[in-house]
């Protein structure tokens, strides 16, 4: 659709959403739609909830965050359930500053930005509609017009609790413009916008010597004092501070813990009592969520300062750790690259970002005290992979072992910088996992916060990621070399299962050619089982386990295939590749391949391109690399 038509449609929609009427008409709206009188905290919670909630592994996943934040489901569930939800219910937690604490580039700023952009969109929906006194610089809640002595009756009639009092400016306007007739005061629908400073504010501290408290609370308009005669006349005051403009919505307090003390004291009254002091006026009511973010070092320093004790109890700290799932980290890199200008110019070979993500996650994990789990197994368990001998209870135990896990390690920016460096190299149109691992290794010397001791640990993690890639590369080539891989795997599995069934039932098989009865092929079964280390003593229980799995699936009306059992799948893959290993070695390592070998290489390259996402360059690089691995 033509962009100018889209702009015209947007403008028309904005006009349709506008509403203006008297306070009496607004009360009719409140009676029909009581949710329009909700608090700022309630609006944010409902915005998140309305985007959708899913249950995954006993946890709530809030879809509102899915487009930008990856691998933080547990932290986000805690944030919503322990802060936003009780705040929406007017519990005492709403009287606290929300402080997001986590390592650099962990998603704190992204989270706040999502809340801001979300509110801008949500106030344009029916469920998120916001109404305010027309002409009020603070977008004041119209229900503040209801006198204090009538609010109990109002609650009985409408079921809505009114908090806060009419601001000095609107008190004056009520008397002078409307003659005290509350029902005639004009109310309008407003839309939050950070750019227009409506319902969303951002405060960032600068030089304490030059920054004025007016940036938070507004200032006197000296040009109007002569007209109104007094600094205490609200018409001679600019209600344009961030606390004023963020009323009814959200204010982001950037680098709050670096801020001068005089700025922080205003937050004490605002969070606890819902009001703040500005100019020569009585306390001004404000309904807004204050969210700040910091790193762990700054927070510890802040806590250690005794002068900040009054603020300690006014803050709720929500940890926002690094993501600890390889698959989600890979999504982060994919998004960052997709948003760049190089996405269409450079081919990134399959598994490249996954291997980079493996290294990153390894740097963030704490090594468990359990002797049966190494850091690679832990990485796989965290990513939801099936690891023989372990279950979800083991994962929960590992996650509970270290409370601070994910609060340190390599940040995504470093990794994407190294990937970018690899991509930008002159003349390179295709990069693979080895290119990125090499770049990550070279960059460790340039990282200012990595000590020599940590560097040695990280170099070991690069080696571990390289070993994981070696296995991935061999399996990738294995699949490409096996013609009609799925069909071959199915045929081999069916043959194995026929023999297993006969073995367990102490029965005979029929030769498909002669029709004579034959004993189960023990050599075939062992050749597959030995691929995954099933011992002679354990073969009977392994085979019985397979039959039990087939029976369980059959009762549910499901078919068993070689993917239905993780260890059997691994055994089938290894067996197929073992049978072809010599062919692969000869074909990939021959300096001057003969016609037959060349044909085989071309077939494999074509399959890697058509079915596995490689291009010609990366496919040939993969084959050469796997050939070198097999010849070691």
H/E segment holding residue 412 = helix 412-424
Q: Is residue 439 within 8 Å of 387, Cβ to Cβ?
A: no
Structure tokens at 94: 């709403």
Question: For residue 462, what pLDDT is reported?
Answer: 95
Tokens 């085979």 correspond to what residue?
543
Q: Is the pLDDT of residue 390 over 90?
A: no
**CA distance to 416, 438, 441, 462, per residue, from 434 (Å):** 15, 6, 11, 10
Q: CA 572 to CA 482: how far, in whole Å?
A: 12
Q: What is the pLDDT of residue 447?
A: 77
Report the C-alpha gap between 469 and 88 in whole angstroms: 47
CA angle 383, 386, 388 (to 5 degrees): 135
User: What is the CB-side half-sphere exposure of residue 152 using CA atoms within 13 A?
Assistant: 1
CA 290 vs. chain centroid, Å, equals: 21
- Tell me which DSSP letter residue 18 carries: -
**Average of pLDDT values for 478-503?**
82
Instruction: Determine the Cα–Cα distance for residues 587 and 598; give it in Å rounded to an integer.
Output: 8
The whole-number pLDDT of residue 483 equals: 65
- The pLDDT value recorded for residue 484 is 57
Residues constituting the chain: 632
Helix (H, G, I), strand (E, B), or coil: what is residue 177? helix
- The larger pLDDT score, comparing residue 455 to residue 428, is at 455
Lowest-pLDDT range of 131-145, 267-281, 584-598, 606-620: 584-598
Task: Specify burial of residue 8 (Cβ count, 10 A radius: 0-12, 13-18, 19+).
Answer: exposed
Q: Provide the pLDDT confidence category of residue 208 given band limits of 50, 70 and 90.
A: low
Query: In this structure, is the dihedral angle defined by the CA atoms of residues 127, 128, 134 and 136, taken in order, positive or negative?
Result: positive
User: How many whole angstroms separate alpha carbon 362 and alpha carbon 494?
Assistant: 39
**For 338-357, what is the mean pLDDT?**
86
Q: Can you spell out the DSSP letters for 61-126?
A: EEGGGTTT--S-HHHHHHHIIIIIHHHHTT-GGGGSEEEEE--TTSSHHHHHHHHHHHHHHHTTSS
DSSP, residue by residue, 333-398: HHHHHHTSSSTTTSEE-TTHHHHHHHHHHHHHPPPPS-TT--HHHHHHHHTT---TT--HHHHHHH
Structure token pair of residue 129: 């509609």
Which residue in 140, 142, 161 sits closest to 151, CA to CA? 161
- Residue range 89-94: mean pLDDT, rounded: 90
Q: How confident is the model at residue 245 (pLDDT cuts 50, 70, 90)?
A: very high
Candidates 279, 254, 375, 271; CA nearest to 316 is 271
Whole-number Cα distances in Å, 147 to 81, 157, 165, 551: 34, 15, 9, 72
Residues facing 131 on adjacent strands: 189
- Residues 328, 332, 338, 344, CA torsion sign: negative
Rounded to whole angstroms, the Cα distance separating 420 from 431 reads 11
* Mean pLDDT, rounded, for 573-582: 76
At 278-288, the pLDDT tens digits run: 877 888 889 99
Minimum mean pLDDT range among 236-245, 463-472, 554-563: 554-563
User: CB of 296 within 8 A of CB of 407?
Assistant: yes
Give residue 381's Cα distance to chain centre.
19
How far apart, in whole angstroms, are the C-alpha atoms of residue 233 and residue 274?
23
Which residue from 220, 209, 284, 212 is spatially nearest to 246, judged by alpha carbons?
284
Quickly list DSSP for 508-536: -EE-TTT--EE---HHHHHHHHGGGT--T
The pLDDT score that the predictor gives to residue 591 is 66
Greater pLDDT, 208 or 355:
355
Helix count and strand count (H, E) for the chain: 27, 18
Angle between helices 412-424 and 433-443 (to 10 degrees): 120
Tokens 């994962």 correspond to: 395
User: Looking at 151-155, 398-402, 465-469, 584-588, which range is the least confident one?
Assistant: 584-588
Tell how strand 97-101 and strand 289-294 pair up. parallel
Asked if the model's pLDDT at residue 410 lies above 80, the reply is yes
Alpha-carbon torsion 256, 301, 72, 415, what sign? positive
User: How much of the chain, in percent, has pLDDT values that exceed 90?
Assistant: 48
- What letter does residue 560 receive in the DSSP assignment? -
pLDDT digits (tens, 9 = 90+) for 31-59: 999 999 999 999 999 999 999 999 887 78
Range 571-582 average pLDDT: 78
Assigned token pair, 310: 């009054």
Residue 470 has a pLDDT of: 94
């Amino acid at each position: 659709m033509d962009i100018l038509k889209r702009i015209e449609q947007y403008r028309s929609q904005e006009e349709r959403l506008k509403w203006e009427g008297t306070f009496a008409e607004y009360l009719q709206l409140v009676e029909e739609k009581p949710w329009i009188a909700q608090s700022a905290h309630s609006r944010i919670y409902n915005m998140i909830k309305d985007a959708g909630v899913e249950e995954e592994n006993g946890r709530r996943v809030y879809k509102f965050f899915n487009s930008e934040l990856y691998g933080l489901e547990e932290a986000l569930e805690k944030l919503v359930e322990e802060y936003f939800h009780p705040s929406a219910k007017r519990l005492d937690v709403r009287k606290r500053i929300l402080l997001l604490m986590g390592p650099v580039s962990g998603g704190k700023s992204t989270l706040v930005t999502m809340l801001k952009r979300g509110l801008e969109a949500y106030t344009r929906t029916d469920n998120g509609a916001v109404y305010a006194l027309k002409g009020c610089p603070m977008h004041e809640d119209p229900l503040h017009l209801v006198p204090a002595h009538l609010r109990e009756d109002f609650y009985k009639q409408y079921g809505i609790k009114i908090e806060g009092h009419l601001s000095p400016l609107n008190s004056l306007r009520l008397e002078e413009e409307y003659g005290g007739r509350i029902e005639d005061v004009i109310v309008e629908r407003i839309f939050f916008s950070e750019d227009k400073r409506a319902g969303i504010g951002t405060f960032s501290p600068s030089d304490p010597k030059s920054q004025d408290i007016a940036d938070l609370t507004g200032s006197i308009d000296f040009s109007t004092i002569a007209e109104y005669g007094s600094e205490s006349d609200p018409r001679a005051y600019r209600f344009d501070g961030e606390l004023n403009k963020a009323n009814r919505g959200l204010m982001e307090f950037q680098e709050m813990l670096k801020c001068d003390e005089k700025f922080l004291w205003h937050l004490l009254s605002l969070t606890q009592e819902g009001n703040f002091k500005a100019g020569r006026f009585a306390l001004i009511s404000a309904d807004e969520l204050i969210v700040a973010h910091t790193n762990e070092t700054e927070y510890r320093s802040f806590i250690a300062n005794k002068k900040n004790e009054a603020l300690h109890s006014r803050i709720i700290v929500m940890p926002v750790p690094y993501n600890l799932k390889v698959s989600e980290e890979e999504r982060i890199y994919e998004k960052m690259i997709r948003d760049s200008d190089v996405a269409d110019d450079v081919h990134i070979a399959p598994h490249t970002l996954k291997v980079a993500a493996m290294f990153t996650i390894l740097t963030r994990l704490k090594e468990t005290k359990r002797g049966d789990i190494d850091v690679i197994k832990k990485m796989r368990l965290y990513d939801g992979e099936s690891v023989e001998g372990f279950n979800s209870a083991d994962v929960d135990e590992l996650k509970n072992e270290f409370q601070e896990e994910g609060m340190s390690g390599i940040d995504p920016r470093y990794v994407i910088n190294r990937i970018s460096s690899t991509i930008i190299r002159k003349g390179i149109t295709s990069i693979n996992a080895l290119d990125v691992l090499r770049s990550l290794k070279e960059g460790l010397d340039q990282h200012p916060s990595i000590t020599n001791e940590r560097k040695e640990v990280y170099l070991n993690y690069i080696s571990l990621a390289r070993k994981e890639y070696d296995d991935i590369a061999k399996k990738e080539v294995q699949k490409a070399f096996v013609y009609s891989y799925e069909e071959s795997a199915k045929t081999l599995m069916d043959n194995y299962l026929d023999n297993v069934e006969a073995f367990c039932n102490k029965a005979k098989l029929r030769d498909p050619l002669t029709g004579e009865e034959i004993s189960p092929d023990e050599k075939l079964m062992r050749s597959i089982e030995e691929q995954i280390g099933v011992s002679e003593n354990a073969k009977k229980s392994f085979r019985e386990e397979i039959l039990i799995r087939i029976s369980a699936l059959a009762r549910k009306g499901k078919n068993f295939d070689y993917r239905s059992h993780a260890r059997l799948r691994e055994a089938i893959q290894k067996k197929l590749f073992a049978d072809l290993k010599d062919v692969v070695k000869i074909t990939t390592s021959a300096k001057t391949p003969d016609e037959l070998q060349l044909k085989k290489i071309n077939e494999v390259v074509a399959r890697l391109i058509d079915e596995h996402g490689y291009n010609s360059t990366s496919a040939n690089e993969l084959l050469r690399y796997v050939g070198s691995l097999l010849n070691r």
